[in-house]
Every structure is written in structure tokens, then in C-alpha cells.
Chains A and B, each alone.
Chain A
Amino acid sequence: MTSRTTEGDEMNDDLELSTRLAALEARAPGSAQPPALSHPRRRGRVAVSMAMAPALVLALVATTAAGALVAVNLAQGHPGIQNPGQPMAGIHMECMTPTDAAAALAAHGFTDVVWQIESGAAVAPDGGKGDTTTVQQSTPPAHGFVIPGSLLDDGSVIMVVDQRTDATGVGDCFGQPMP
């Protein structure tokens, strides 16, 4: 049997749908706290202070940089080459020009280096998503913030150079002028 849908039915449907959807949303998990802006210590899974936000963004860039290779190789995680216990720990390549970082790597025996260059802008002027370009090459670029990357299983190294207009640098050179 077919029933006709009247305007009144549709209004009731809309009201019922609105009520059910609102109730559904109210049951969805939403106990997470926003990240701290002025208090550096706040409980939360990924709680960060605003001071760390730029570093977090660039860490995500570095992760994305390694991501392409991870996706290709289905590889497991690789250690950051400047992590404690890794060959370049304490070298602070983030404060070097890309050329100097390449020389430091070569001095430690790392000559097989992929330089991944990020350019453009992470955030558009209206606060929306910016336009970022990624290029990989075997030679270091002339300028940009060096983001020490990962040491891969085959002994090669991936390094990220951030040339974006809103780049801030990382680690000890956070906030310094772009080399």
C-alpha cells in the first residue's frame, strides 16, 4: 500500500529527524579537552601549548616527508637521525644552512641523502589551508630551515628543508631568521 506524504507529515518528519539527530550527536564521545593555550601542562592525548604549535606543525611536515617513503616501502618507523643515541645526536643541524647540514652529514659518512623541500605557505591569508609544494632532490637547496629527518634501513637519510613563507624553524633555531 502506498501512503501520501503531506506537508504536515514532512514537518513532523523534520522535527523528529532533528530531535533524533541532536540526540545522536549528544551521545557521541566529546569529553576531550581543547589544547592548552596559556598553561603548558594540561592532561590530554595530544595536548600542546601554543608555543609548541609551530613545532608540532613542522613535526607533522617531517612525518609527512617520511610518509612518502614509508608508503612506498611499507616500512616500519625509522629513528630521527638526531634522536638521542643516533649518529647525529647533538649536532643541531636545524641551525645550519642546508649546505652546511649536508657537509655535516657527509663528515659522518652519510652521503646518500634525499632532500625534501617544502615551499609555498602552510596557512592561507584567510586562515584556510595554504598551498604547499613538495619536491625531492639529491642535492641540498641553497636556503631554508633544515628539519633533521630519518635514518632509513639502507643507510640513506631523508632531510626536510622548510622554505615556506610562514616557516619558523625547529628545535634550537625556532624563531630564528630563515638561513
Chain B
Amino acid sequence: MRATHAAASTSDPDAFEAAVRPHYANLVRRLVLVLGDERDAEDIAQDAYLKAFRSWARFDGADVRAWLYTIALRLAFNHLRGRRRWLAAIGRVEPTPWTDPADPDLWAALAALDSRTRAALLLNVVDGYTQAEIATMLAVPEGTVASWISRGRATLRRELDPDR
């Protein structure tokens, strides 16, 4: 499930697009799950794409998806902090989140998690990144990631199978 690329050239737009563009649609989907809002997800993905392009020369060539997701998730968390302050300032409620009619219980359980927990859980369970890798991506201690993932898994199990 990992996407590893050797960046033959880290200076031209064509090399950047060839390496990064294939991950764009999945990045938007991931951000929809983390942010819960399609428009916010598209905005953050575009910001991340442009920011990644500006930083392309500094990319180490190891794992372009992890690098892109790192930029995007950090932007997403900054956005969430700003959105909460903004909505509080103008007295508005949060926008209606995206919903998934095909598996509403799973989405409801996932959406109830804190956004960082949600992001860490998805990086671990869906993408297979280790706790150490996720800690680097999200710029938090490894123990924090371990706690988020453990609590996230437990919450999902409890919500999806309350009889267990």
C-alpha cells in the first residue's frame, strides 16, 4: 500500500506532477474523512499541492505520499484550529459534515473521533504506516500516536459491536 518514488529530478514541474498528481484524489478523500467537509478538503488539498510544489526541491525522494500527506494533514489541523476560532467569533455552528450512506455506522463512529486520532488511525490501519512514522508525519511523540490509535480502535470496536 506504500507509494515509494525515487525523485529523479526535484526541480521541474513535470517530475513533480508525475510523482504527486497520482496521489491527489486519494489525498482529497483522506481529507474528507479527517475534516468531514468536502469543500474544506478540496481547499486544503490544493494548498498542500502548491506548498508541496514550492518545497519539491527539498523533498528527500523517499515516500512521496507520506510527504504529501504530512504537508496536507498539518495544514488541515491548522485549518481546524482556525475554523474553530472563527466560528466561535461569529457565533456560527460547524458545517454539516459529509455522510456515507453505505456504511453510516462506521462513518458516525469515525467522525466522533478527534481529527488527529482519526488521521493517525487511518494512516495506521488503512495505509500501514508504523506508529513511529506517523509520529514523524504529525510532529507528535510516538507515545501520543500509540495512545490515539489504541483509543481510536477501542472506540470503533465499542461503537460498531457494542455487545462485545
Contact = CB atoms under 8 A, between A and B. Distances in A.
Interface of A: 3, 5, 13-14, 17-18, 20-35, 37-38, 45-48, 50, 53, 67, 70-72, 74, 123, 126-129
Contact of B90 (A27, A38, A48, A74): A74
Given A20-B103, A29-B38, A129 B86 contact: no
Interface residues of B, number: 53
A127 B71 CA distance: 8
B21 interface: yes
A30 B157 contact: no
B96 interface: no
B106 A20 contact: yes
A71 B86 contact: yes
Nearest to A125: B58
Interface string B44-71: 0110011111110010000000000001
Interface stretch (B3-11, B24-32, B140-148): B24-32
B43 interface: yes
Interface of B: 13-14, 16-17, 20-21, 24-30, 32-33, 38, 41-43, 45-46, 49-55, 58, 71, 74-75, 78, 86, 89-91, 98, 100, 102-103, 106-107, 110, 121-122, 125-126, 153, 156-157, 163-164
A128 B42 CA distance: 19
A21 B125 contact: yes
B89 A37 contact: no
Given A3-B164, A32-B46, A129-B74, 16 more contacts: A13-B157, A14-B125, A18-B125, A21-B125, A22-B126, A23-B103, A24-B33, A29-B28, A30-B29, A32-B25, A35-B46, A38-B14, A48-B50, A53-B50, A123-B54, A127-B58
Nearest to B51: A127
A50 B42 contact: no
Most buried by A among B50, B53, B74, B98: B50
Top 9 A-B residue pairs of the complex, sorted by shortest distance between their CB atoms: A127-B55, A30-B29, A71-B89, A28-B29, A28-B32, A30-B25, A30-B28, A34-B24, A32-B42
